[in-house]
Structure 1
């Protein structure tokens, strides 16, 4: 059981993300926080304070500028989540009677962690949020008892509900956009892989054909070499041996009659050798 839990928390999947997803997410959060600040100025939302919202807005602006000019970073993504988490916790400890508000806002952090980082960070933040909710519950019981009464003003809570709905919709749109782009990239990669496989199959067929042709050519060349070796060892050597023998006898013979016979033999052998050489050349030329 412990191994399964650890595997669930630490398991990760690499989801391809566009370069601008972090910048867009922080920008959207900054805009939403700005709307929240405006709402707090116009209507007391009864769940936080304007200094906290302005502090959160200032931190988000710093993160936004950093990502804009220095590029995305895992540290920036975790910093954004940590800032949101601290803001929720500080607001709760300042106003324990707002537990019913923050318990619905805090689950947005694991969702943002999935957009910013990966499945592993989302799991870790989910575990942190669950533990935090239990700790906050115990703190709230110590401060207010087992229950507390909350005043629900219509206008502030209508504004807060609209803002909460807008935030969730934006988060899911970002996630949908992220997964949609990832799916499109995977489909594109899949098409590329299919095309490469098709090209490899075509190349494989061409290579097989080329290898077959080369093999046939090598076999034909070997056959010509064998034929040439046969002609050289049998047909050429015989008249050549006669010529060499006749020349040797001519050097040793003084008889004119014998010399004439040897010259005739020499001429016949030379003619035979010429015919054999022509035949070899003709045979090799025909094969080429």
Structure 2
């Protein structure tokens, strides 16, 4: 059971992210916090304090500038999540009667964790969020009792509902675009792989044809060599043997008439040998 829980908590999938997704996300959060600060100035939202919102806005502006400068830095994304978590907790401990507000805002942290980090980061923050909600529940019961009566004015809660809706829509839109871009990249990579496989098949077919042509060429040359060997062993050796035999008799012969006959035989055999060599040469040239 422990191993399954550990595997679920730490298992991850590498989802490729574009360079600007973290910068855009922090930019959207900074804009929403600025709107929240403006709403707090115009209308008391009954859920936090203006100094806390202004501090959060200042920190987020610093994170936004850092994200622009350093690009894809996981430290900046994790720090943004930590800042939001601390802001929620400080607001809750400052105003325990706002538990009904922050219990709906806390789930945005695991969602943002997936955008900033990965599936493992999101699951870890999900566990932290659930534990925090449980501890906040216990703290709220100790401070307010088993229940409390929240003050729900229309205008502040209309502001809060608007910010909540825009935040969730922005988070899901970023998540959708992140997964959509990742899917598009995977499809593009898949097309590249299929094209490479097609090229390899074409190259393999061309290589097979080349091997077949070379094999045929080698077989033809082997056949020519066989024919040449046959000509050499039968057609060439006969006149050559006559020349060798006549030459050996010529060394021991003293009769001028027989010497003339042997010389004539050598000339005839030499001419025959020359004809045979020419025929062999012509045959090889034609087949080449």
TM-score when scaled to structure 2? 0.95
Residue number in structure 1 paired with 2:47: 47
C-alpha distance in structure 1 between counterparts of 2:80 and 2:253, whole Å: 116
Moved more, 105-114 or 269-278: 269-278
Q: Relative to 1, partners in 2 of residues 1:252 and 1:26: Cα closer, same or farther, differing over 3 Å?
A: farther
- C-alpha separation in 1, matches of 2:166 and 2:117: 22
Q: Does 1:238 align with 2:269?
A: no
What residue number does 1:205 align with? 205
Q: Provide, for residues 217-272 of structure 1, a one-character-per-residue CA deviation record: whole Å limited to 9, x for no partner.
A: 11111221222233233332332333233334434433212221221221122122
Q: How far apart, CA to CA, are the structure 1 residues paired with 2:232 and 2:77?
A: 84
Q: Quote the residue 1:59 is aligned against.
A: 59
1:125 aligns with 2:125: yes
Superposition RMSD on alpha carbons, in Å? 1.5
- Structure 1 residues 164 and 263: alpha-carbon distance in aligned structure 2, compared to 1, 3 A threshold: same
1:255: which partner in 2? 255
Aligned to 1:106: 106
Matches within 5 A, 1:139-150: 139-150=139-150
**In the TM superposition, what is the alpha-carbon distance from 1:157 to its structure 2 partner?**
0.7
Deviation at 1:21, TM superposition (A): 0.8
Q: Structure 1: how far apart are the matches of 2:77 and 2:226?
A: 76
- Measured in 1, the distance between the counterparts of 2:213 and 2:9 equals 59
Find the aligned partners of 2:237 and 2:49 in 1 and give their Cα distance: 114
| CA distances 1:182-205 after superposition (whole Å, capped 9, x unpaired) | 122122222222222222222222
Which blocks of at least 5 consecutive residues in structure 2 are unaligned?
none
How far residue 13 of structure 1 moved from its aligned partner, in angstroms, is 0.8
Q: Secondary structure at the match of 1:72?
A: coil
Report the equivalent of 2:186: 186
User: Distance between the aligned counterparts of 1:233 and 1:80, measured in 2?
Assistant: 93
Q: Deviations over 1:19-55 (max 9, x none)?
A: 1111111111111111111111111111111222122
Change in 2 beyond 3 A, CA 1:248/1:65: farther
**Inter-partner Cα distance in structure 1 for 2:167 and 2:183:** 24
Alignment match, 1:2:
2
Partner of 2:75: 75
Q: Name the SS of the counterpart of 2:51 in structure 1.
A: helix
Residues of 2 paired with 1:253 and 1:66: CA distance?
A: 115
**Structure 1 unaligned residues grouped into runs of 5+:** none
Distance 2:84 2:252 in 1: 119
**2:263, 2:58 → 1: CA distance?**
118
How much has 1:213 moved relative to structure 2?
1.0
Provide Cα deviations, 1:263-285, integer angstroms capped at 9, x if missing partner: 12211221221122112112211
Give the corresponding residue for 2:283.
283
CA drift of 1:147 comes to 1.2
Counterparts in 2 of 1:78-89, with a 5 A limit? Answer: 78-89=78-89
